[in-house]
Amino acid sequence: FQMDRTPESYLDLFPLDAIVYLTPDSENVLEDIDPDKVYVLGGLVDESIHKQLTLRRAREQSLQTARLPIREYMVKAPNSRNYHSETLAINQVFDILCTYYETRSWPAALRAGVSSGKGYVLPEAAEQ
């Protein structure tokens, strides 16, 4: 993958209507990757005191938002802590997006990127 680093903001580099801010709190489900869009992978943790921070930031900037389709393809796995989280690290989101782009399969992509420690599994894994 080619990467460029710049001190400029993505808001200055791309048209607002081309930017999709990925946040686990979005109401919009990412159904496919649009090559004409720019996807922003947040660098903030929304799990604790910063709940919905990335969603608020995207709304303040008038950006489209989307979340990965974890709820649509995965189920909550029983666990001793009753812990379930859709908040992922940037590298996990990147791996999921890359796998989806290559396979066009959300189950394959989510299997590759969502660790069992998040409390979600694919339905066939839950049946075992």
**Dmax (CA) of the chain:** 49
Distances (CA, A) of 21 to 59, 70, 118: 9, 16, 21
Strand pairing class (64-66; 19-22): parallel
- Burial label for 106, CB within 10 Å (0-12, 13-18, 19+), is buried
Phi and psi for 84 in degrees, rounded to 5? -145, 125
From 25, 36, 46, 95, active-site residue: 46
Q: 102 is written with which tokens?
A: 């290559």
Q: Is 4 a residue of the active site?
A: no
Alpha-carbon distance 53 to 113, whole Å? 23
Q: Catalytic positions, please?
A: 46
